[in-house]
Amino acid sequence: FICFATEMWERFSYYGMRALLILYLTKHWEFTDAASYLIYGAYTSLVYIMPVFGGMLADQILGSKKAVTYGAILLVFGHLGMTVESNEQIFYLSLALIVSGVGFLKPNISTMVGALYEEGDPRRDSGFTIFYMGINFGAILGPLLIGLLGEGYNWHYGFSLAGIGMVFGLISYKIGGKYLGSA
């Protein structure tokens, strides 16, 4: 359930922020559609490739627990950096922090779920099912709540909610991490 909560809040913040990104680029920054799609595409591509490097660093140097902690911290700073208005450099730095944070957190928290159960343990499938429910729950709620708040009221309120969600994920992980064994 600790991994469930951490991953749920990470997916909440990630997919929620992603729901706002194109709209924010075209409406707030007034980028062209082509430039917005290029930034969005580069961002999402990097989010999907960085877990390879985050997993390697965890395997060889950090360990899964430290990697997840560092990833969550980077995600908090990245999402909260998105709340800074009218500073393009901080915007790009924030995207880079989010990409790096996902790179550390995503592969390693999944590994931790697998490490909770011995091979052949009948609870293993149930553990992964609960974990994936957290992913889906966060992926559904994030775009709805963050998207509505961000576009409906203020972009930076939406980005703030993404950051607050990731703070909840970090707190869940730090409080419950002692139950996850040594990794």
User: Can you tell me the distance from the alpha carbon of 65 to that of 173, in angstroms, rounded to the nearest whole number?
Assistant: 9
Q: d(Cα 10, Cα 69) in Å, to the nearest integer?
A: 12
Q: Is the pLDDT confidence value at 139 over 90?
A: yes
Measured CA to CA, the distance from residue 22 to residue 153 in angstroms comes to 16
Tell me the pLDDT tens digit for each residue of 37-84: 999 999 999 999 999 999 999 999 999 999 999 999 999 999 999 998
134-148: string of b/e by CB count within 10 Å (b at 16+)? Answer: bbebbbebbbebbbe
Residue 18 has pLDDT above 90, yes or no: yes
Local confidence band at 91 (pLDDT 50, 70, 90 cut-offs):
very high
CB-based burial label for 182 (10 Å; 0-12, 13-18, 19+): exposed
**pLDDT at residue 183 is higher than 60:** no
CA-CA distance, 156 to 162, in Å (whole number)? Answer: 10
